[in-house]
Amino acid sequence: MRVRFAPSPTGRMHLGSGRMALYNYLLARKTGGQFILRVEDTDQRRYVPTAEQELYDGMHWLGLQWDEGPDVGGPYGPYRQSERKEIYQQHAKMLIDSGHAYYCFCAPERLERVRQEQMKRKEQPHYDGTCRALDPAEAAARVAAGERHVVRFKTPKEGTTTVVDEIRGAITVQNSSIDDQIILRSDGLGVYHLAAMVDDHLMKITHVFRGSEWLPSFPLHHLIIRAFGWEPPKFYHLSVFLKPSGKGKMSKREAADLMKDGFSIFVKDFEELGYLPEAVVNWIVLMGWSYDDHTEFFTMQDLIEKFSLDRFNPSPAAINFSKLDHFNGLHIRSLSHEDLARRIKPFFLKAGIQADDARLLRIVPLIQHRIGTLDEAVDMAGFFFRDEVTPPVEDLVIQGLSAAQSAQVARRCLEVLKGLPEINVETAEEPMRALVEALGLKPGQVFGLLRSAVTGQRVSPPLFESMAVIGREKVLERIERAIRLLEGM
RNA sequence: GCCCCCAUCGUCUAGCGGCCCAGGACGUGGCCCUCUCAAGGCCAAAACAGGGGUUCGAGUCCCCUUGGGGGCACCA
């Protein structure tokens, strides 16, 4: 089994591309086949220089390795369409010689005019067939004389064509509705209709995954393949992703708004937003594919084992970011402490916090169940690495008590803690709870004060576990400071 | 305008004629746990777009309507 992911480097790599690449990858790995990366860069005007690198980065980040491609080579190269110009020209010539295609000398301006008139008459715009009737020998002579030309595919004008999409079943269209499309441009480069069909055949592709936007031209592609006398690969047209509301595709403006909320539709953005590639993979694989009626958590290994071709859903899927958050939490919690420590470290560094590995490893168990994205680790646990913390004074005042009274409570706590040779859950929790009771207060009141004093935050990992990591000296120091703050009120 | 595709809870989906007064998940609400916040556990509300057929029987098959998506380039 040979599959291919064939993006055109015309912009940023979005989630839909990621899913497409993922399905190809899974199928190849599951069956022991090859996964080919082919760059469809035949349109030089739309080419974006940075796009190809972003593509590589995005796929690497998702964990998708390809077996053949522009950068790694392979037996069926070149894998960049701009380097296969001669191949398309040869194949266009083959179709002309067999009577399946013809030279066309029509000026684009005239064609545009014809299109306008057809639309005015409420017809489907199509080529009017001027050059289709040309004598082949005469046309060849004009080409030889250097006249500017393109090559068009000659579609049958009668009858019907039936193609099979493996997800949807048979689709039959009237041949009269299939236009004589240009398959070779005047600059000699093949257009998609020719180039992709030729490459898929030459590269021995057995299963094609592509977007459902290709469905309307699917019959044309079938005709082209048959004109060469080839057996077509199996086609799977994947539905598009809709915006979260479910109404329409994501626009540029909406994509920008998304970024403000900590989301994106571009694969490369998810890393710095604090998402795990495992979570993104788990999330997108389930948009249009399912395993059964209840299993949703998958690692890449699971997917390689369980991926199948008969469980695609043909309807468009709206992107659901809260589900991504859910999967991210699930995968964060399934990571080993070492692994999680390694992954959150860059976020501390980016926040200007030099997080040492030993301490990082100690705090990971305290935050693993409390963060939804990796960047949240900094907010949750940054205080562990700071020399001192400055809680807002009002956070130190116990609800229902005055500042002075709160300071008194803090003093009593300090006394108890000072009497301990070490502060951790085993040594401190019991005496502190006893103190709380003796004071006639609730645990939440006293522990809240201490939490603010020691961590500088209202929300933190559990108090005594946190104190243990911070260390006795620093804990006492921070409580003393809190008392001074309260007394200064 | 014409052509093609799609249609189950708000969202992702299971369902391939009787197992379905429709199952799972996210989200939402409630309860439990609890030093904060989470995580976890339990419970709840929430859908077969509408109308015709076919059939003993339809969410499942067919047709129409409606809604949504895509396409109609010397772009992919």
Q: Looking at residue A102, what is its pLDDT? A: 97
Q: Looking at residue A414, what is its pLDDT? A: 96
For the CA of A326 and the C1' of B25, the distance in angstroms is: 10
> Pairing between strand A34-37 and A2-5?
parallel
pLDDT surpasses 90 at A282:
yes
Q: CB neighbours (10 Å) of residue A477?
A: 15
Q: Looking at residue A124, what is its pLDDT? A: 81
The backbone torsions φ and ψ at residue A167, rounded to the nearest 5 degrees and listed phi first, read -90, -40
The band of A138, judged by pLDDT with boundaries at 50, 70 and 90, is very high
Q: Which nucleotide lies nearest residue A457, CA to C1'?
A: B36
Are the C-beta atoms of A450 and A463 separated by less than 8 Å?
A: yes
Active centre residues of A (catalytic): 252
ipTM for this prediction: 0.95
Whether the model clears a pTM of 0.90, i.e. scores above it, the answer is yes
Question: What is the C-alpha to C-alpha distance for residues A463 and A425, in angstroms, rounded to an integer?
Answer: 9
Mean per-residue pLDDT, A249-268: 83
Q: Which nucleotide lies nearest residue A211, CA to C1'?
A: B70
The band of A255, judged by pLDDT with boundaries at 50, 70 and 90, is confident
The band of A371, judged by pLDDT with boundaries at 50, 70 and 90, is very high
For the CA of A455 and the C1' of B60, the distance in angstroms is: 58
The band of A158, judged by pLDDT with boundaries at 50, 70 and 90, is very high
The residue whose CA lies nearest the C1' of nucleotide B67 is A247
Please identify which residue in the block is written with the tokens 């066309």: A104
For the CA of A305 and the C1' of B18, the distance in angstroms is: 34
For the CA of A241 and the C1' of B6, the distance in angstroms is: 13
Query: Which among A232, A185, A167, A202 is positioned nearest to A38, based on CA atoms?
Result: A202
Please identify which residue in the block is written with the tokens 């839909």: A16
The residue whose CA lies nearest the C1' of nucleotide B14 is A293
The residue whose CA lies nearest the C1' of nucleotide B2 is A124
Residue positions counted in chain A? 489
For the CA of A287 and the C1' of B47, the distance in angstroms is: 19
Percent of chain A with pLDDT over 90: 90
The residue whose CA lies nearest the C1' of nucleotide B40 is A369
Query: Which among A346, A239, A193 is positioned nearest to A23, based on CA atoms?
Result: A239
Give nucleotides in strand B with any atom < 7 A to a protein C-beta.
1-8, 10-15, 23-27, 35-40, 68-76
Q: Which nucleotide lies nearest residue A297, CA to C1'?
A: B25
pLDDT surpasses 90 at A388:
no
- β strands within A200-334, DSSP E: 207-211, 234-238, 241-242, 317-318
Secondary structure (3-state) at A317: strand
Q: Retrieve residue A13's tokens.
A: 């790599």
The residue whose CA lies nearest the C1' of nucleotide B23 is A293
For the CA of A313 and the C1' of B61, the distance in angstroms is: 19
Q: Looking at residue A208, what is its pLDDT? A: 98
Q: Which nucleotide lies nearest residue A123, CA to C1'?
A: B2
